[in-house]
Amino acid sequence: MREMVAAQRDVMLSYFGQVPGSFTFEPRPVVAQEIPRRIEEAVAIETSATELKEVAKAEKKVFTKEFLQEAVTAIVAERTGYPPEMLDPSQDLEADLSIDSIKRIEILSELADRIGLPGADNEDIQDQLIEELSQVKTISAIVDWIIDAAKRFGDVEEEAIKSETPEVREPQVPAASISREVQPGPTGGSKDLTSEVPAKAKRFILKLEELGECQSNVELKDKSFVLIDDGRSIALELSTLLEEAGAKVNVIPPLVTPDESLFDGINGYIDLRSLIPGERHIAKDFFPVFKLGVEKKLEWLVGVSALGGTFGHPGATTVPSNIPLGQFPQGAGLPGLMRAIDREIPNSCVKAIDIDPKEEAQVIAKSVFGELTDSFGSCCVGIKNSKRFQLDVVEAELNDAADFSSSISKSSVVLLTGGARGITSLIAEQMARDSGATVILVGRSELQDEDAKFQNAQDEGEIRKILIDEAICSPKEIESIVKAVKIQREIKSTVTRISKYSPVQYYSCDVRDEDEFAQILDEVQATLGSIDLIVHGAGVVEDKLIGDKSQESFNRVFDTKVNGAKTIGNWLSERNGTTATTVVLFGSISGVFGNKGQVDYATANDFLDAMAIFAKGASANRVISIDWGPWAGGGMVYGELEREYEKRGVGLLDPTDAISNLASELAFGSESQVIVMRSNPSAFLKKASR
C-alpha cells in the first residue's frame, strides 16, 4: 500500500551502515530553519558521516540522556515541521505524529550518521536490533534504547554515559523520499542483486512441482504436541504415530481464544480444524492460537488445509472442484498465514500442509507425520495420492499486449473498490482514457468541502504549518486533519481526471459491510443496467510483528479484502442475472512469499488467490487475482530508496508498465492467479537456515 512502500527491514539495513543518511520522509520540514539545532551547531569539520562514526567510536563518545533527547527531538522536529516545544518526549510518535516504524528507523538512521549508534556496524546483531527498534515508540523510549544498547553492544562503555556532549555533524549523503508499502522482505543480507532486477514488470504464474520423499531427519522423542481434533480420526491416527516416535500428545477441540497456559511445556502445535466435516473455519480464526505459539517459541507450528492436496492448483493429478467466489474454500489463506509466520520465526518448523480430505484418515495422518520430521522441507507442501508438491513461481509472459479498449468499451460499466486513491485510481483513469467506459469508484471516505483556510496550501507541509501557526490543536489533531485533507484532495483529483474521458461517480462505502456494499452494487446495476468489470482494489495495511498484532487489527486488514470479495461473489451469484462479469482481485506478493510484519495482509491476499483459483469454472464470471509487487505509485519512490530495493533484487513497478500488464491480462490472460513484479523469485528465497 501507499502508506508503506518501503520495507522496514530494508530501511533498517541501510541504517546499519550501508547507506548512511540516505533516507528522509514526507512531509518535508516547513520551519526547519527556526528550530534550535544544537547538535548542528556543534559541527565544525568536513568529514563524511561514515568517517564521523569511526571517529565517534574510536573516541568512545559519551552521551547524556539530555543530549540524546535533544538530538532526537531536533531530528523529529526537522522531519515533521513541528517546533521542538510542541514535541513531548512521551508522545506516541506513531499514534500522535504519524511517525510509523519506518520513519522512526529513519530518525535513528539520521542519528547514527550524526553521532554514531551502538551496534550499528555489527551484522551479527542486526536482526535483534530490528526487532527491538520496531517496538520503540516515543522520544524517551528511543533515548532509553540508545543508552541501553550502548551498554549491551559495547560501542560505549557504561561509565561513559555521563555528562559530556559528543561532536556531531550533518550527514553528507543526499536524501531520498520514501513510499509506503512494506513488501515481502527479500532475502536481506549483503548480496547485491541489483544486476538481477528486471528492467520491466514480469508476469509469473504458480506451477505445481513434485517433490521427493521427506527427509525424516528430525527426532521427535520426548517432544510434546498439542493437536486440534479434526473430528474424523486423523488426529487420533497422527497421535498414534507421534507416540510411537516417543512424543507426547494432547488432542483438544478447536479454540477461539487459547488459554495462555496452553503451550506450557509444549514443543509443537498442529491445527487440523480445516478438516472437520461440515464446519467452516476462516483463516483469521487461526491467528490467536498461532500468535500464542510464536510467543511461546514453539519448534513446530503446523496448519493443515483441505484444499485438495495441491492448494487448489490443477496439476497432473487433480482438477479442483469449483467453488463460487462468494464461498470460502476450506483452509484458504492458511498457506499465506504460515508463510508470514515462517518469515518471522525462520528457525522453527513452520508449515502449511494441504491435503485431499477425501483420502483415508490413516493416509493423511502418515503424510502429516512425515512433514513433521522433515526439517529442511518447503514451508508449504501439498500431498495427494502419496505424492508431495510445492508451488513454483514460474515466468509466463503473454505474447501479446493490449490496452483496456480490448476488454471494455464506452458502453461498459466498471466498478473499482479503492478506485479513488492509490494505484487503483491510476488504473481507473487509464481505463477511462482507453475506453470511455462509465467508472464507479468506491472508497471509505465521505466527500466533504475543504475548509477555506487551506485553499492556498499546496501540500501537506503547508497545511500543517497553517495548523501549527494557529496553535489551537495538538500534533495528534493536526496530523489527523492533514491526513483527511490529503485524502479528500486525492479523491477529488481522481474524479476530475477521470471525468475528462468518462462518466464517473464516487460512492462512499465500507466494503466490509456486506449489506451496504451489496446495496451499492444493486443501485449501480439498477441505474446502469450491468456491471461488466469489478476491480476489488480496496485494502489496508497495519503492519506489526505477530506478537504486537491484535485480532481486531488482523480482522480489519483481512475483512477489507476477503469480505469485499465475498460480497462481490455473492452478489454475482444471487442478483447479477445472466450478465457475465469479470472480477479482478488485487493481491500482493506478500501472500505468495510471506512477509515479516504482514501476517494479516499475507493471509488475506493468499485467501483472495484461493478464491480466484476455486472460482474458475464455477460460473460464467471470470475471476483473476493479480499479486502485485511494489509500485512506484505516483512517483513517490525514487533515488536512494529505489536503489536500495534494487540492491535486494526488487524493482518498483513503473505504473504505466504495470497498468499495461493488467490491460494485456484482461485481453489475453486465462490464469486465475498471476504475479506481476519487477523481481525474480530468487530475490525472495529464504536463508538456508532450515
Nearer to ligand NAP (CB atom), residue 91 or residue 595: 595
C-alpha grid cell for residue 349? 518448523
Locate cell 512424543: which residue?
247
**Minimum distance, C-beta of residue 538 to ligand NAP, in the bound complex (Å):** 4
CB 633 → ligand NAP: shortest distance, Å?
Answer: 5
Provide the minimum distance between the beta carbon of 627 and ligand NAP in the complex, in angstroms, as a whole number.
7
Q: Which three cell numbers stand for residue 507?
A: 460512492
The smaller minimum CB distance to ligand NAP, of residues 179 and 378, is found at 179
Parallel, antiparallel or unpaired: strands 673-679 and 349-355: unpaired
Supply the DSSP symbol for 514.
H
Q: Residue 240 or 551: which CB sits closer to ligand NAP?
A: 551
CB of 208 to ligand NAP, least distance (A): 24
Cell of 423: 494505484
Which secondary-structure segment (H or E) carries 39? helix 38-41
Distance CA 283, CA 73 (A): 42
In 10 A of CB 543, how many CB atoms?
Answer: 27
When CB distances to ligand NAP are compared, the closest residue is 422
Minimum distance of ligand NAP from residue 535's CB (angstroms): 9
Nearer to ligand NAP, 501 or 517 (CB): 517
Q: Find the shortest distance in angstroms from Cβ 681 to ligand NAP.
A: 16
Tell me how crowded residue 360 is: count the other CB atoms within 10 A of its CB: 11
Tell me how far, at minimum, the Cβ of 251 lies from ligand NAP, in Å. Answer: 38
CA–CA gap between residue 182 and residue 110 (Å, rounded): 21
Q: Shortest distance, CB of residue 539 to ligand NAP, whole angstroms?
A: 3
Residue 549 Cβ, how far from ligand NAP at the closest point, in Å? 17
| Separation of alpha carbons 502 and 491, rounded Å | 16
**Cα–Cα dist 687/596, whole Å:** 14
Burial 366-381 (b: 16+ CB within 10 A, else e): ebbbbbbbbbebbbbb
> In terms of CB distance, is 30 or 197 closer to ligand NAP?
197
CB of 4 to ligand NAP, least distance (A): 8
Provide the minimum distance between the beta carbon of 635 and ligand NAP in the complex, in angstroms, as a whole number. 13
Q: Which is nearer to ligand NAP, 605 or 621 (CB)?
A: 605
Shortest spacing between CB 152 and ligand NAP, in angstroms? 36
Give the helix ranges, DSSP H, for 92-138: 93-97, 101-115, 126-135
Do the Cβ atoms of 187 and 361 come closer than 8 Å?
no
Q: Which residues bind to ligand NAP, rule: CB under 6 A?
A: 1-3, 5, 181, 417-418, 420-424, 442-445, 487, 510-512, 537-540, 560, 586, 588, 628, 630-631, 633
Structural contact between residues 5 and 630, judged by C-beta atoms closer than 8 angstroms: yes
What cell numbers appear for 663 in the block?
490491460
C-alpha torsion 655→660→662→664, nearest 10:
-170
Closer of 101 and 348 to ligand NAP (Cβ): 101
Residue nearer to ligand NAP on the CB measure, 209 or 446: 446
CB nearer ligand NAP, residue 383 or residue 393: 393
Closest CA to 509 of 420, 585, 442: 442
Q: Which amino acid is at 230?
A: D
The C-alpha atoms of residue 617 and residue 615 are separated, in whole angstroms, by 6
302 beta partners: 270, 351
- Would you say 295 and 548 are in contact if contact means Cβ atoms under 8 Å apart? no
Q: Which residues of 54-70 are buried (b: 16+ CB within 10 A; e: fewer)?
A: ebbbeeebbbbeebbbb
**Least distance in angstroms from the C-beta of 219 to ligand NAP:** 41
What is the C-alpha to C-alpha distance for residues 77 and 38, in angstroms, rounded to an integer? 13
Query: What CA–CA distances, in Å, run from 461 to 383, 398, 415?
Result: 55, 44, 33
> Minimum distance between the CB of residue 513 and ligand NAP, rounded to whole angstroms?
8
> Please, which residue, 14 or 560, has the CB nearer to ligand NAP?
560
Q: Is the peptide bond before 166 cis (omega within 30 degrees of 0)?
A: no
Q: Which is nearer to ligand NAP, 343 or 421 (CB)?
A: 421
Q: 95: burial class by Cβ within 10 Å (0-12, 13-18, 19+)?
A: exposed
Count of CB atoms within 10 A of residue 29's CB? 18
**DSSP, residue by residue, 246-300:** T-EEEEE---SS--GGGGTT--EEEE-GGGSTT----GGGGHHHHHHHHHTT-SE
Pick 181 or 671: Cβ nearer ligand NAP: 181
Q: Which is nearer to ligand NAP, 144 or 510 (CB)?
A: 510
Q: Closer to ligand NAP at the Cβ: 250 or 496?
A: 496
